[in-house]
Amino acid sequence: MAYLLDPLTTEKLTLKNRLVMPPMATSKCNEDGTMSNGLLEYYDEKSRGGHIGLIITEHSYISEEGMVRKKQLSVSSDQMVDGLKKLSDTIHNNGSKTVLQINHAGGAAKKEVTGLDVVGPSTVFVSNKSDEILTRELRKDEIHEITMKFRDAALRAKASGFDGVEIHSAHGYLLNQFYSPLSNKRDDEYGGGLEGRIRFHLEVIEAVREGVGKDFPILLRLGAADYMEGGSDVEDAKAAAIAFEKAGVDILDISGGFCGYIRPGVTEEGYFSPLTEEIKKVVSIPVILTGGIIHAETADRLLSEGKADLIGVGRAIYMDSNWVENEMLPLNK
């Protein structure tokens, strides 16, 4: 039985408590994705006091065609390392551990932003958060190229001093598009049943692990279920989780798929807990639960009930930088 203030220790990562600040986009970067004083000040404010066990940064794009919007954090070239090092140093100097999330937007990208084709697993209409875009199906050689870009981005995360890297496969972005039967209509080895739909993931995990070495933590954020007719479900998530652990993922961060970071029709705190509870039954690695959690007592209860190993508190911390002092630290009393 674990509680929010308990430490968590794995072979590769030690956290002072079970609180995670999950990735949340801020659009505070410079126009070209380089580090800005505004972004550094934001993370300095959120990490001050070192009370958050783990801070996962907002998604950074691994290549230009995988960018969602201007002012999104970039990890697409070696020139970004110096700025990213300032970010990891800022968080470390305040006393928290930090992981860089890396992402390719796929069909959630916009050609008017990138100037490039919007790509995905199949030629289908995919929501890019504002309208429907007809994606171009990726060729196999392009899938391999993107795999190598994930590896290179992970190497930059390591070179920038982060404590780990998180591969983003949630919220309808590229890897999640391959995972979901709503968007993956391929008839080759990257489509069909779940084994095909997660092949790209496994290749990315293998390439990242080969790049960063055996001791660098790899997290994966999985949009475990779409909560839509014909979409991914908890059984997909359990099978995928088993495969990802076997491939070398150290922590699973569970969220929604094409439904995004909300669960339709459900607003109770920890609304993805039915997913994390089932996933925890089939893996031995830590599982992060996020989803509308705003009270430390609720986080404590979810942990003590075995719903997850770590709790992500997002919007509450985004709205109130004193959330830890006001909500979590009083648990000590």
Q: Is residue 227 part of a domain?
A: yes
Domain that holds residue 114: 8-332
Q: Is residue 123 part of a domain?
A: yes
Q: CATH no. for residue 100? A: 3.20.20.70
Please tell me which residue in 42, 61, 173, 179 is annotated as part of the active site: 173
Q: Is residue 2 part of a domain?
A: no
Mean pLDDT of the chain: 95
Q: How confident is the model at residue 131 (pLDDT cuts 50, 70, 90)?
A: low
The pLDDT of residue 127 is above 70 = no
173 is catalytic: yes
Q: Is residue 327 part of a domain?
A: yes
The pLDDT of residue 332 is above 80 = no
Q: Can you give the pLDDT at residue 250?
A: 98
**Average of per-residue pLDDT across 40-59:** 98
Closest CA to 263 of 299, 290, 237, 230: 290
Q: Is residue 61 part of a domain?
A: yes
**In a 10 Å sphere around its CB, with 0-12 CB exposed, 13-18 middle and 19+ buried, how is residue 330 labelled?**
exposed
Closest CA to 28 of 19, 37, 15: 37
Q: Is residue 3 part of a domain?
A: no
Q: What is the pLDDT of residues 239-273, one digit of tens each?
A: 999 999 999 999 999 999 999 999 999 999 999 99
Q: Is residue 196 part of a domain?
A: yes
How far, CA to CA in Å, does 224 sit from each of 43, 202, 278? 28, 16, 11
Work out how many domains the chain is built from and give that number. Answer: 1
Q: Is residue 1 part of a domain?
A: no
**Average of per-residue pLDDT across 226-230:** 95
% of the chain exceeding 90 in pLDDT: 92
Q: What is the pLDDT of residues 67-126, one digit of tens each?
A: 999 999 999 999 999 999 999 999 999 999 999 999 999 999 989 999 999 999 998 876
